[in-house]
Every structure is written in structure tokens, then in C-alpha cells.
Amino acid sequence: MPHRQNNSSRMGCFGFLKVMMFAFNGIIFLAGAAILGVGIWVKVDSGSILGLLKGIKDAPAEMNQILNVGYLLIAVGAVLLIIGFLGCCGAMKESRCMLLLFFVIVLVVFIAEVAGAVVILVFKPLAGELIEKLGTKVVQNIKKDYGENVDVTALWNATMDTLKCCGFYNYTDFTGSPFEMRTHLYPQQCCHGAVFSSCNDTSATITGCFPKFKQLIDENTIAIVAVALGIAALEIMAMVVSMTLYCIIGSKSD
């Protein structure tokens, strides 16, 4: 009787672990699909802010890494989809090979995430220097092409409409641009409720796109850190559950 009870409790624990594995990998699979979708959207949407940055001439060489963020998101999304598939199939089919492969991939991803976090912390001071260089080039691009180059003008208008901002730093970025020289006005996105004929240097009060983006990140820092820690905890639990299932399936076959 005790032996039967032990087997029953063991099977119950095994079933619970399989359910946990399905839950973890269902979340991972959905997250991968979402990230993959965002990556494809970033690459397809030429009117996005990345499309705007891509059109900047003589931009800092480091900008290439930012412009490749779409490919990075696609790669991360695809990896998460594969991880979710391996985890679910490995648990359902009780395949030790799939579970071990799942564990190895998640471990590699976890180590890469930790390494990436360390790199970001170490090189954080360099980010300010890169942004300063980028800002200089962006402002030069605005002063040279806004109001004359159709593509640059359309991209800036789309960006300002989407983010509800004005220029890179503020409305003065447009001073001396073909648009400002011709009309003696600023884009209507720079003024609260302004019509084309009234947006001048006294009514242009909308903040720049970079300060607004920075403010958005600063206001959501806690949420971003919480999500990152949640993902790390999910990965650790998924590795523990997968390795436990791996061992239990191995002991059943002996």
C-alpha cells in the first residue's frame, strides 16, 4: 500500500510538472510571437522613427546597431518560438532529448541576457556621448532637408504626429530649415492646437521627441526592470522544471 501511494504521489507530481511546463512555455511562445510581430513591423514600417534615423547622412557608426534592432527582435522572437515549441513537445511526448535541448537553449539565452545587462551597465556613460553625436547629426539633417526633401519631411511629420513631439530637442531645430526660411513659421506639431498660420517661436511649446522618449523611459523604469526580472525568474523556473522532468522520465525508463 505505501508503495502504491508513493507511485500515486509521484505520478501526481509528474503531472503537475508537465502542466507547469505547458504554462511556462505557453507564455514563452506567446511572447516570442509578439516580439517577432514587432520586429517585422519595425522592418516593414518605413515611416517609423528607425526609418527616420536611417535617412540621416554621416550618422555615427554606432547607429548601425540601433538600426538593426528590427533584425534583433525577429531573431529573439524566433528563438522564443522554438523554445516554447521544444518545451511543450518535450513535456507532452516525454522526450528527454527535447527537454535537454530546451534546457540548454534557455540556459544560453539566460547567460546572454545577463552578459547584455552587464555590458549595458558598464557602457552606459558612452550612451550619452552617442546620443549627443546623433542629436547633432539629426539637427543638421532637419536644418538642411526639412521642407525641401519630401521623404525627410514626411518622416518627421509622421514621427511628430505619432509621438506628439517637436523636432529632436525642441522647435529651434527647425530654425534655418528650408521650411522655416520660406514660411517664417514652425511645423504645426510644435504648437498646442495651432493652425499652420500661427505656429511661431512664441507659441511653439511642445517638447522635443528625444526628451519625450527619455521621459517615457524614465517614467517606466520600474515597470521595465520588473518585466526583465519576471522574464529571468520565468526562465530559471522553466530550466528547473525541464531538468526535473528530464530526471523523472529517465528514472521511469530505467
183-229 tens-digit pLDDT: 888 998 898 765 555 788 888 888 888 888 788 777 877 887 887 88
**Segment 60-75 mean pLDDT:** 66
pLDDT digits (tens, 9 = 90+) for 135-167: 888 888 899 989 998 888 888 888 888 888 898
DSSP H helical ranges for the chain:
2-44, 49-54, 63-67, 69-93, 96-122, 124-145, 150-163, 178-183, 209-219, 221-253
Grid cell locating 77: 522572437
Q: Is the pTM of this model over 0.85?
A: no
Say if residues 186 and 180 touch (Cβ distance below 8 Å).
Answer: yes
Report the C-alpha gap between 147 and 177 in whole angstroms. 7
Closest CA to 61 of 108, 156, 149, 130: 130
CA atoms within 13 A on the CB side of 6: 3
- Tell me the average pLDDT of the chain: 79
Mean pLDDT lowest among 4-13, 150-159, 230-239: 4-13
SS3 191: strand
Can you give the pLDDT at residue 178? 93
Is 56's pLDDT higher than 60?
no
Say how many CA atoms lie within 13 Å of 108 toward its Cβ: 10
- pLDDT reported for residue 121: 76
The CB density around residue 146, as the number of other CB atoms within 10 Å, is 22
Question: What are the tens digits of pLDDT across the range 85-113?
Answer: 888 888 888 888 888 888 998 898 888 88
pLDDT given for residue 176 in this prediction: 92
Chain-centre distance for alpha carbon 86: 24
CA 196 vs CA 118, 178, 184: distances in Å: 48, 16, 11
For every residue of 109-139, DSSP letters joined together read HHHHHHHHHHHHHHTHHHHHHHHHHHHHHHH
Q: Percent of the chain scored above 90 by pLDDT? A: 6
